[in-house]
């Protein structure tokens, strides 16, 4: 072993030799460097499932989210090799880092600014099986139909008044219409999508109310709902987080909520970190979250991405969020203890 070098640190991390790892770190080797194969010491420890070495490296400042040349992070190595303890350590590190980053960055965000202003002002084009923006980004694609059916089932599982944010190709709204519900409100912000909704008769369905505008701007026109689905385009996690803060006011008692869970759809471990973060943040609002896994590999033929700028989903399993007000929250609302 080349003591005091990065190669030495990677070898000690791979073998789980914690004392050697500590000594090499004390010698001043940069824990965030990549070896000749493009791997960090953290990736070597994750690949071999050495949880306590992972802790030592993280304490020394190893970045949990560094990517190797194939786009995998240390957590991906732990996941692929089913090293449960290592997954836990890295997951906690990722959650902690992202929660801190969000809290630091949030006060600098300009509230009220439309992050997708350009998209909303450009043309949106419907073609065979997809809705595209002018930059060849897929706004919505037909392959998501089975996922939208499950989202609709989740939000309509209690019947009643349903709210959907983002019409897109109308897949989820068509599925919502197949359930026994009282009313169905749809918010859509893009003029071309709105025009198509009207042209295809959505404005004339008796139990449907279409509201044109950004959800941020039309909130005062809304009531309370038994089921809510959220799926916009060109917005960020922080926008959805802002919407989540409105949920305790928008959801009726026993109301259900779901959202398009495309967070970090090109990296399995980052996706896992964000599923846990959203779960924690919803829990702080009194909302419980469970995930329903749906295998999607068979839906994702390489051909479907032809002409699409960014493959926004590359994972084998999609997790449908099933969210509901927790019992504690229900008790608070009804006054029963
Ligand atoms: C991914 S698509 C929704 C797909 C839809 N779930 C379906 O099943 O076809 C996103 C939609 O949200 C709309 N949108 C984007 N930002 C919005 C906002 N702030 N408020 C309301 N709608 C928005 C887009 O114009 C687009 O039609």
Residues 6+ apart with CB under 8 A from 278: 240, 244, 263, 289, 321
Give yes or no for residue 330 having a pLDDT over 70. no
Q: Is 222 exposed, middle or buried (0-12, 13-18, 19+ CB in 10 A)?
A: middle
Q: Would you state the pLDDT for residue 274?
A: 97
**Residue 337 pLDDT grade (very low, low, confident, very high; cuts 50, 70, 90):** very low
Which atom of ligand 1 lies closest to the CA of 171?
A: 8
Residues 6+ apart with CB under 8 A from 265: 271, 312, 313, 314, 315
Q: Is 98 helix (H, G, I), strand (E, B) or coil?
A: helix
Q: Would you state the pLDDT for residue 335?
A: 44
Q: 115, 147, 168: which to mutate for ligand 1, most atoms within 8 A of CB? A: 168
Distance 277 CA to ligand 1 centre (A): 23
Q: 166, 171, 198: which to mutate for ligand 1, most atoms within 8 A of CB? A: 166
Domain borders along the chain are 6-106, 139-334
Q: What superfamily does domain 6-106 belong to in CATH?
A: Ankyrin repeat-containing domain (1.25.40.20)
Task: Please give the mean pLDDT across all residues of the chain.
Answer: 94
Nearest-CA residue for atom 16 of ligand 1: 232
Q: Would you state the pLDDT for residue 328?
A: 67
- C-beta 247 within 6 A of ligand 1: no
Q: Are 148 and 171 in contact (CB under 8 A)?
A: yes
Give yes or no for residue 106 having a pLDDT over 70. yes
Nearest-CA residue for atom 25 of ligand 1: 190
Q: Are domains 6-106 and 139-334 of this chain identical in fold?
A: no
Q: What is the pLDDT of residues 146-204, one digit of tens each?
A: 999 999 999 999 999 999 999 999 999 999 999 999 999 999 999 999 999 999 999 99
Residue % of the chain over a pLDDT of 90: 90
Nearest-CA residue for atom 2 of ligand 1: 168
Q: Would you state the pLDDT for residue 105?
A: 87
Alpha helices in 178-304 (DSSP H): 191-199, 215-218, 237-250, 268-283
- C-beta 147 within 6 A of ligand 1: no
Q: What superfamily does domain 139-334 belong to in CATH?
A: Vaccinia Virus protein VP39 (3.40.50.150)
Give yes or no for residue 332 having a pLDDT over 60. no
Between 322 and 1, the higher pLDDT residue: 322
């Amino acid at each position: 072993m080349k003591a005091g070098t990065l190669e030495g640190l990677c070898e000690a991390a791979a073998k789980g030799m914690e004392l050697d790892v500590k000594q090499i770190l004390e010698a001043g080797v940069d824990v965030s460097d990549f070896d000749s194969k493009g791997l960090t010491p953290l990736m070597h420890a994750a690949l071999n499932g050495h949880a306590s070495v992972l802790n030592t490296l993280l304490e020394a400042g190893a970045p949990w989210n560094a990517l190797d040349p194939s786009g995998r992070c240390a957590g991906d190595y732990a996941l692929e090799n089913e090293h449960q303890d290592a997954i836990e350590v890295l997951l906690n590190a990722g959650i902690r880092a992202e929660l801190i980053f969000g809290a630091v960055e949030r006060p600098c965000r300009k509230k009220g600014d439309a992050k997708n202003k350009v998209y909303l002002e450009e043309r949106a084009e419907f073609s065979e099986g997809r809705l595209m923006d002018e930059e060849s980004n897929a706004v919505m694609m037909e392959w998501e139909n089975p996922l939208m059916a499950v989202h609709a089932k989740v939000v309509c599982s209690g019947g009643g008044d349903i709210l959907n944010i983002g019409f897109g190709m109308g897949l989820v709204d068509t599925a919502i219409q197949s359930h026994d519900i009282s009313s169905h409100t749809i918010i859509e912000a893009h003029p071309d999508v709105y025009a198509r909704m009207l042209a295809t008769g959505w404005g004339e369905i008796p139990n449907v109310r279409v509201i044109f505008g950004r959800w941020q701007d039309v909130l005062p026109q809304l009531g309370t709902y038994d089921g809510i689905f959220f799926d916009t385009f060109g917005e960020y996690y922080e926008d959805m987080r802002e919407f989540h803060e409105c949920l305790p006011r928008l959801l009726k008692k026993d109301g259900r909520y779901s959202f398009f869970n495309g967070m970090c759809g090109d990296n399995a471990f980052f996706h896992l970190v964000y599923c846990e973060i959203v779960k924690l943040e919803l829990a702080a609002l009194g909302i419980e979250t469970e995930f329903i896994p749906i295998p999607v590999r068979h839906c994702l033929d390489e051909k479907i991405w032809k002409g699409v700028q960014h493959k926004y989903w590359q994972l084998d399993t999609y997790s449908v969020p099933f969210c509901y007000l927790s019992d504690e929250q229900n008790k608070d609302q009804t006054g029963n203890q």
